[in-house]
Amino acid sequence: MLRGLIKLIYYALIVYIIYKVIRFFQKLSQRTKLQIQNPRPRLKGMMVKDEACNTYLPKEDAIREVIDGKEYFFCSRECRQKFLEIKKT
């Protein structure tokens, strides 16, 4: 009787493991299909350095200032103002 119960548990465990392996490969396949259909968007633009606080930010988000023919970029009006004050002295 006990031997039959152990066999039943053993076979149930084997079936469960096979089920989990099949589900794993199905999910992996679905994930791959989604990645092919919807690839990650590429970042556009380039990063520029804020001369006042030494941080980098996307060029399209930066405040642009041309001083003496040279282009400078800033993350905020405050950084721009701070740089202009330093540049005047």
Q: What is the pLDDT along the chain (89 residues), one digit of tens a residue?
A: 888 899 999 999 999 999 999 999 998 888 777 666 666 666 667 899 998 999 999 999 999 999 889 999 999 999 999 998 988 76
Give the whole-angstrom CA distance, residue 57 versus residue 76: 11
Q: What pLDDT shows up at residue 35?
A: 67
Give the whole-angstrom CA distance, residue 39 versus residue 60: 23
Q: What is the CATH number of domain 47-88?
A: 2.30.170
Is 34:41 a contact under the CB 8 Å cutoff? no
Q: What are phi and psi of 29, to 5 degrees?
A: -65, -45
Q: What pLDDT shows up at residue 44?
A: 67
Q: What pLDDT shows up at residue 70?
A: 92
